[in-house]
Amino acid sequence: MSREERERSGRAGSSGNRKVRRGPRRFTISMQKRLVVLFLIVLMAFALLAFRLILIQRDNGRTYTMQVLSQQAYDNKSLPYKRGRITDAKGTVLADSQLVYNVIIDASQMLEDDGKYLEPSLNAVARLGIDKEEIRAYVTEHPGSQYYIALKNLPYTDKRAFDRENEEGVKAEQDAVEAAAEAAEKAGKDRSEAEPVELVYTNIRGIWFEDNYIRNYPCSTLAADVIGFTVGNNIGSFGLEEYYNDTLNGVAGRTYGYLDESLNMEQTTIQPTDGNNLILTLDANIQSICEKYLKEFNEDLKDHKHKGNGSNNAACIIMDIDTGGILAMASEPGFDLNDPYNIAAVAGMPKLDEKDTPTTSYLTEADAKNLSDADRSRYLSALWNNFCISSHYEPGSTAKPFTTAMGLETGTLKKDDKFQCNGTLEVSGNWINCAHLEGDGLLDISGAIERSCNVALMQEAFKIGPELFCKYQNVFNFGLRTNIDLAGEARTDGYLYSVDDMTEIDLASNSFGQNFEATMIQMASGFCSLINGGYYYQPHIVDSITSAGGSTVHTNSPRVLKKTISEETSSLIRDYCIQAVEGDHATGKLARPAGYRIGGKTGTAETLPRGNGQYVVSFLGFAPAEDPQIVVYVVLDRINNKKQDEAGRACILTRKILTEVLPYMNIYMTEPVTDEERLELEELGLYDTNEASPDDEETEESQW
């Protein structure tokens, strides 16, 4: 083998077994250059960003600072408005907002100057009836606090007494300091070397008062369910307070801080706008007369047959016959507007079933105290509801003038028509009785109303027919809301028959006020139109709305909604109703007040289920007879008596009310007064206006 072959063979043989060793990888120059370039780029970016921030700070720093600071809260608080006042027609305040104060603690001020103001300030807090140890603990735990409500609704008199004592105390301390300085001068010393005076009042800090308002009802229980009340944040509940909530409420003011161009803190105050006031058609004196006699009735029959109130409900409405204005709207039991949640007021009311329907059992005082929270709400709601507009019932014989008016107006009845009453009438196989089972004999239309004859009225209804009867029920607004300006008026459209649904027996029972339901306000408003010539006025209780400054914002002018009957028909109905009070067989004799002629109609309606012995009795009338000015409607719902169907009790209550109301309204007597009636008037402090009063001359002089 040649030398060359051996060398090739040796290299080839060794090449498969040799391991190749690699040294550490080098950081090449090109890589170093790229890293330097990247570093320089990042450095330049930071330099440019820093330069940009310097420019922003130089050129726009003030603007951005103001924007940031302006977003912070600086003494931003709401200023309360005063809710509007409610007054009666003659200016008596029924609801108002009373100025009170929240006591505010500024802990940071109390702790200034190493806390030298703390003890004097805490002692001052104690004079306001606040626990000073609680305030001490709060101040210690929250030294930076500037706003803490320590007490709410401090009366103005208490705040004024506190201020007066502080003023007198500061003055006394100033005098003492001056006296000490003068004494030092007399002793040849500098004034600064005077004996120190303990400064108790001068060192009071960190106490201030924030205005607030609370609703106040000066007449307490008067017209409670008409007025209603307010709950938190000036939210009206029931009555006028709810219906006119937005009108009575104002707009809150605000005080807040902002930064001016020099970054100085400025404060701006937007004053609150107080709410508008309500001036009512209601007369507080007439209202109080009605409430007095309703309460007297309740007390007389309380716990009579059973434990409980004198009746489930007793109520009275007095309306201006020619405007629809409500002069009085009262019901019993009532409640205190300044303490509406007092559960004791529900004692004596009927117990409610699961559907809130009254039962024949009654709440005792112990029952009232032990009510659950849910039941408390149910019973209080029942108490707060206005019976005159929120409850419906079968009106009974007070509906008879409406039936007669339907017939006369449509021509289906003639004023000389006569009807025979034998004490009962068969209708569709059912015998329906008259109040007088012996029968009333042959009656004309006037006699049918005077005697309150069911049989005659059923015969009238059959002549009218279901189509006209249903039509005129709507004409008189039965089944429809009157839209009186009060919260909570009930709907009754579900308690009337349509023409298609009305059977002969339904027509018969509707003719004398059974088997359909109405509210007191529906009955009173419709009756006004029967008496005043046929003009149906929308009932209302607010006469006008005024601003906080006293200027008139709105006036509720009398509003005629429709013409129900003609003047001729109205004149006949007036005569028939007068006869129902004055006639030999009149059912309403007991309603006539001494010295006056009035007209009206009694009502007795048996409640469901029939035969339960429970009744709603009433009297619906007008006065005076010669020139009707008011309609009066008294309803007694299930009297607490063994015998409930006594409409005479409603008549007596009407007479008592009118005996005081008519003279108060300057409506003078036209009829002779008996000796017995004269004694009754004298006991009430009244006199016979047919005769000269011993005080007449003095009264005339004082009036002029």
- DSSP code per residue over 322-374: TT-BEEEEEEES---TTSTT-GGGGTTSEEE-TTS-EEEEE--HHHHHT--HH
Alpha-carbon span 530 to 534, nearest angstrom: 5
Question: Could you report the per-residue pLDDT of 66-112, keeping only the tens digit for each?
Answer: 555 544 445 567 889 999 999 999 999 999 999 999 999 999 999 99
Is residue 467 domain-resident? no
Q: Which residue has the higher pLDDT, 190 or 598?
A: 598
Are the CB atoms for 246 and 406 separated by under 8 Å? no
Section 230-237 average pLDDT: 92
Percent of residues, the chain, with pLDDT higher than 70? 90
Question: Could you report the per-residue pLDDT of 509-556, keeping only the tens digit for each?
Answer: 999 999 999 999 999 999 999 999 999 999 999 999 999 999 999 999
- DSSP code per residue over 517-567: -EEHHHHHHHHHHHHTTSEEEPPBSEEEEE-TTS-EEEE----EEEE-S-H
Is residue 39 domain-resident? no
Bridging pattern class, strands 350-352 and 599-606: unpaired
Instruction: Write down how long the chain is.
Output: 704
**Residue at 109: amino acid letter:** Q
Instruction: Give the H or E element holding residue 28.
Output: none
- The whole-number pLDDT of residue 120 equals 92
- The whole-number pLDDT of residue 66 equals 54
- The whole-number pLDDT of residue 612 equals 86
Backbone angles phi, psi at 610, to 5 degrees: -60, 145
Is residue 153 domain-resident? yes
- Report how far apart, in Å, the C-alpha atoms of 79 and of each of 189, 212, 254, 414, 572 are: 52, 8, 5, 68, 61
Evaluate if residue 19 carries a pLDDT over 60.
Answer: no
Is residue 195 domain-resident? yes
Section 222-249 average pLDDT: 96
Backbone angles phi, psi at 459, to 5 degrees: -65, -35
Are the CB atoms for 297 and 637 separated by under 8 Å? no
Is residue 135 domain-resident? yes
Query: Peptide bond before 350: cis, by omega within 30 degrees of 0?
Result: no
Q: Which structural domain range is residue 122 located in?
A: 101-215
- The whole-number pLDDT of residue 63 equals 62
Is residue 291 domain-resident? no
For the entire predicted model, the pTM comes to 0.83
- The whole-number pLDDT of residue 60 equals 66
Question: Could you report the per-residue pLDDT of 24-74, keeping only the tens digit for each?
Answer: 556 677 777 778 888 888 888 888 888 877 777 676 665 665 555 544 445
Lowest mean pLDDT, pick from 60-69, 282-291, 319-328, 678-687? 60-69
User: Which residues touch 465 (CB under 8 Å, ≥6 apart)?
Assistant: 412, 507
- Report how far apart, in Å, the C-alpha atoms of 468 and of each of 401, 406, 460, 480 are: 15, 8, 12, 17
Question: Could you report the per-residue pLDDT of 506-518, keeping only the tens digit for each?
Answer: 999 999 999 999 9
Are the CB atoms for 388 and 287 separated by under 8 Å? no
Question: Could you report the per-residue pLDDT of 574-596, keeping only the tens digit for each?
Answer: 999 999 999 999 999 999 999 99
- The whole-number pLDDT of residue 269 equals 84
Section 230-249 average pLDDT: 95
Q: Which residue has the higher pLDDT, 388 or 610?
A: 388
**Domain total in the chain:** 1
Evaluate if residue 691 carries a pLDDT over 80.
Answer: no
Question: Could you report the per-residue pLDDT of 399-419, keeping only the tens digit for each?
Answer: 999 999 999 999 999 999 999
Are the CB atoms for 417 and 457 separated by under 8 Å? no
Bridging pattern class, strands 552-555 and 615-623: unpaired
Find the angle CA(265)-CA(268)-CA(270) to the nearest 5 degrees.
Answer: 165
> Would you state the structure tokens that stand for residue 682, as one six-digit string?
């004298």
Section 198-223 average pLDDT: 92
Is residue 11 domain-resident? no
Question: Which residue, 703, 694, 685, 654, is CA-closest to 318?
Answer: 654
